[in-house]
Amino acid sequence: MAYGVRIEPPLQPLTGEKLGNGANTDDQARLDVAARGFWERGEMAFFDVRIFNPFAKSHLNSKLETVFKSQENVKKKAYNERVIKVEHGSFTPVVMSAFGGFGRETGFFMSKLAEKIAEKHDLPKSTVSNYIRTKISFELVRAQGECIRGSRSKRQQSNLDVKESEVVDNRSSVRKD
């Protein structure tokens, strides 16, 4: 089955469904990414990304693990029930700190993503995982720089280039004599 990926997919408008408090009921609601067959064959999986500053005053008196869980719960409260009841799919919050850490559910997501890419391109999962983490780290640093100085020009969207991970994999197998 083909893996269809959509960026910022609009959610279907509500048609009388009753959702819990805090759920996003806006007819124009969107999530960040949708992918068919990511978790289960044929099922549409929806993802919404949140990046937060762990050094914000509101987080300083909390354990980082607690902050990640809290951020995941906020996203789930807003979208999980709607995705299950209306979209008949699954929802995964992708929560990262601005400095590269990520929540429990994001860890599961990253592991599954690395597994799928590794399988598709016949690469070791560890190599692909390292590549993904490195790519995310660079994108976070780039975004921080843009937040501090502002964007100087429109930048093309960065694409995942699996050939870069092949270079990393080839270098790791070089013998030292």
Give how far Cα 114 sits from Cα of 27, 85, 102, 159, 176, Å. 33, 29, 15, 15, 28
Q: How many CA atoms does the CB half-sphere of 82 hold within 13 Å? A: 25
Mean pLDDT across the stretch 46-63?
92
Mean pLDDT across the stretch 164-170?
53
Whether residue 170 is predicted with pLDDT greater than 70 in this model: the reply is: no
- The pLDDT of residue 159 is 64
The per-residue pLDDT for range 92-111, each reduced to its tens digit, is: 999 999 888 899 999 999 99
Domain ranges of the chain: 5-152+161-166
Whether residue 119 is predicted with pLDDT greater than 70 in this model: the reply is: yes
Full-model pTM? 0.78
Full DSSP string of 57-109: GGGTTS-HHHHHHHHHHHHHHHHHHHIIIII-SEEEEEEEETTS-B-HHHHHH
Q: Which residue has the higher pLDDT, 141 or 94?
A: 94
pLDDT band at residue 26 using 50, 70 and 90 as cut-offs: very high
Average pLDDT over the chain, rounded to an integer: 85
Mean pLDDT across the stretch 62-90?
95
Mean pLDDT across the stretch 10-30?
91
